[in-house]
Amino acid sequence: MTTRDDVPAPLDPAPEPHTGLMGRFRNYFLTGLVVTGPIAITLYLVWWFVTWVDGVVRPFVPLAYRPETYLPYGVPGWGLIVAFFTLTLVGFLAANLIGRTLVDVGETFLGRIPAVRAIYRGLKQVFETLFSGKGSSFRKVGLVEFPSPGMWSIVLISQSPSEDIARSLPGEEHVSVFLPCSPNPTTGFFFYVPKSKIIEVDLSAEDAATLIMSAGVVQPGSAPDPKKAAALAGMANAARIANASTLKPQPAKVE
C-alpha cells in the first residue's frame, strides 16, 4: 500500500465538539434543579401557610401577648402555635358535658338558618369523615373507563351511596368515586359507578395524587435519583460525541 505525492496529506483530527462541556453544564444545572426545586417549593408552601395562619390569628391575640410587642421583630409561627393550643383547648372543652351542651346549642341555632344550615351540615360531615380516622373515603384507588371506551382514568373510591340514591340507581350496586383532574387534583368529577366497572389498583392515595399532578411523568415507586439522572445525561453526551466523531473526514488511501 503506497501513498502518491498528489494525494493530499491526512487532515488534522477535528477538535472535540463543545457539546461535551456544554452537556456537563446542562447536566449539572438539571441535577441541581431536581435537587433544590422540590425543597424550595416545599419550604415556600410551608412559609406561606405559617404566615397565613399568623395573619389570621394575630388580630385575636391582645397586644400584651404578642412577641413583637417586646421584640424588635415578629416571631414567625407564633400564630400557628396559638391556633394549635386553641384548637386543642376547644376539643378538650367540647369533650366535656358543658362543652357538648354549648355545641348542641350552637348547632341548634345554625340549624334554624336555612342558608347556613346546609353549608354547616355538609362541612361538618366532610370534616368528621376526613379527620375522625373512622372513615374509609379516598383510601382506595381504582380505574374506570372514562371518558370513552378503551380509555382509563384514575379515581379515588369513596363510600357507597345512601339508601335513597341507591334505590334510584338502576342495576347492580354502585360506588361513589372522585376523578381528580391533572395537574390540580383538588378539582375533578364526582359520579356513581357500578361496582363491577371499577378495577382496584394497589396504589395509595398519595401516589395517585403524585401521578396525577405530574401528568404521568412521576410513576409510583420510581423516585427521582439525581445520580441516575446525571449518569444518563453523561451517556447521552458520550453518544453525541461518538456520533460526531464518525462524521470526521478520513485520510485518503490508495493501493
Q: Which residue has the higher pLDDT, 19 or 117?
A: 117
Burial 3-42 (b: 16+ CB within 10 A, else e): eeeeeeeeeeeeeebeeeeebeeebeeeeeeeeeeeeeee
Domain count, the chain: 1
- The two most distant CA atoms of the chain are separated, in Å, by 111
Q: Do the domain assignments include residue 71?
A: no
Query: What percentage of the chain carries pLDDT values higher than 90?
Result: 4
The pLDDT value recorded for residue 241 is 60
Between 171 and 155, the more confident residue is 155
When pLDDT is averaged across residues 195-220 and rounded to a whole number, the result is 81
pLDDT higher at 185 or 141: 141
pLDDT at 3 over 70: no
Is the pTM higher than 0.85? no
- Residue 2 resides in a domain: no
Q: Is residue 115 part of a domain?
A: no
pLDDT band at residue 14 under the 50/70/90 scheme = very low
Residue 159 belongs to some domain of the structure: yes
Determine the pLDDT at residue 129: 61
Q: What is the pLDDT of residues 36-92, one digit of tens each?
A: 988 998 899 999 999 999 888 888 888 888 888 888 887 888 888 988 898 888 888
Domain assignment present for 198: yes
Whether 178 maps to a domain, the answer reads yes
Query: What would the pLDDT profile of 220-244 be if each residue is shown by its tens digit?
Result: 765 555 555 455 455 555 555 655 5
Residue 65 lies inside a defined structural domain of this protein:
no
pLDDT at 223: 53
| DSSP output for the chain | -B--TTSPPPPPPPPPPTHHHHHHHHHHHHHHHHHHHHHHHHHHHHHHHHHHHHHHHGGGS-GGG-GGGTSSS--TTHHHHHHHHHHHHHHHHHTSHHHHHHHHHHHHHHHTSHHHHHHHHHHHHHHHHHHSS---TT-EEEEEE-SSTT-EEEEEE-PPPPHHHHHHS-SS-EEEEEEEPSS-TTSEEEEEEEGGG-EEES--HHHHHHHHHTTTSS-TT----HHHHHHHHHHHHHHHHHHHHTTSPPPP-B-
Tell me which of 38 and 251 has the higher pLDDT: 38
Structural domain range at position 147: 136-220
pLDDT of residue 235: 54
Three cell numbers written together for 214: 405530574
Is residue 100 situated within a structural domain?
A: no
Q: Angle at Cα 171 formed by Cα 168 and Cα 177, nearest 5°? A: 75
At 131 the pLDDT is: 63
